[in-house]
Amino acid sequence: MSVEHVPVMMKEVLDALPLEPGATVVDGTLGLAGHATEMAKRISPGGLIVGLDWDKDMLEKASEKLAVLQGVAVRTYHADFRELPERLAFACQELGRGAAANAILLDLGLSNVHIEDPSYGISFLREGPLDMRMDRSVGEPASAWLNRASVKEIEDVIFVYGDERWARKIAQVIVERRKTRPLTMTNDLVECVNAAIPAAKRDRRIHPATRTFQAVRIHTNKELTDLEEALKRIADVLKNGGVLCVLSYHSGEDRAVKHAFRELRESGFFEEVFKKPLTAGPDEVNSNPKARSAKLRALRRAS
């Protein structure tokens, strides 16, 4: 299936990053290479773009798009961006370049492809297997965990990662239901949420399953695990004057970015590029709903 992903806050990202011909750029979350393509054009001739994505299918599509670009070396890896420093070092060693980056982008979370393609089981609007993994070569489908975990474990995940006040009730319904009918499809989880939250108490602005799906997806992909630590290691591979941009889409992600950046700033070696995180303008939000929740923070290595 052919789905597009419109890159978020493209202009703001390109303006924040030092993208000169010959620069070394790392995109830790390649997706469909929307940002990466524009960054690559600006570092030609002589630049290097290193791209990572933990979704193999996504990486293949991105690699095809980048391969046709002129004047830049391209290295792509099927990897978690937590391995970014090692992958950058590997690519630079192979090409005989210094292993430090002028610009790094992390555009966290999901691609539109993950939402639109039912085989990922990420959207409550698409009936598909209740998998939710972006990297299907590791871990286990969300359904396996939901069919095994205790009420307390499920409640904690839905409460902490989803800010869902009905977390306990939803967890109880899941555990009760699976005694006779294990959860296998996205609709099974939607049914549990619908059974748990009384119609009169629902937040009319969002689908009742929104928070639960977000929480179970974050848990399944370990999206917040060691994120803060990873960001600090990643910032450490910046050259002097180099910039790390991070786009986050929910409060848990933004909190990790904020904490990591504060600690790095306090070390005296880094400065924040913006006083407050940037958000998308009204025109972009109107044309691309994914931009609504985006926050852009940027950190520059100052010495």
Ligand X SMILES: C[S@@+](CC[C@H](N)C(=O)[O-])C[C@H]1O[C@@H](n2cnc3c(N)ncnc32)[C@H](O)[C@@H]1O
Nearer to ligand X, 177 or 220 (CB): 220
Is the sign of the CA dihedral 215, 132, 8, 56 positive or negative?
A: positive
Question: Do the Cβ atoms of 40 and 25 come closer than 8 Å?
Answer: yes
Comparing CA positions, the residue from 268, 266, 272, 290 lying closest to residue 280 is 290
Q: What does each C-alpha distance from 10 to 13, 17, 30, 113 come to in angstroms?
A: 5, 11, 14, 18
Least Å distance between CB 47 and ligand X?
Answer: 18
Residue 132 has φ and ψ, to the nearest 5°, of: 75, -5
Least Å distance between CB 198 and ligand X?
Answer: 34
Nearer to ligand X, 59 or 92 (CB): 59
Residue written as token pair 């009420």: 151
Strand residues in 133-263 grouped as ranges (E): 238-248
Least Å distance between CB 266 and ligand X?
Answer: 25
Chain residue at closest Cβ approach to ligand X: 31
Phi-psi region of 227 (alpha: psi -120 to 50; beta: other; left: phi over 0): alpha
User: Apex CA 36: angle with CA 22 and CA 249, to 5°?
Assistant: 130
Nearer to ligand X, 55 or 254 (CB): 55
Q: By the criterion CB under 6 A, which residues form the site for ligand X?
A: 5, 7, 29, 31-35, 52-55, 58, 80-81, 107, 109-111, 134
Q: What is the CA radius of gyration of the chain?
A: 20
Least Å distance between CB 237 and ligand X?
Answer: 16
Nearer to ligand X, 110 or 193 (CB): 110
Nearer to ligand X, 7 or 242 (CB): 7
Least Å distance between CB 79 and ligand X?
Answer: 7
Q: Is 193 helix (H, G, I), strand (E, B) or coil?
A: helix
State CA 159 to chain mean position distance. Answer: 20
Least Å distance between CB 268 and ligand X?
Answer: 28
Nearer to ligand X, 189 or 231 (CB): 231
Residue written as token pair 């940037």: 278
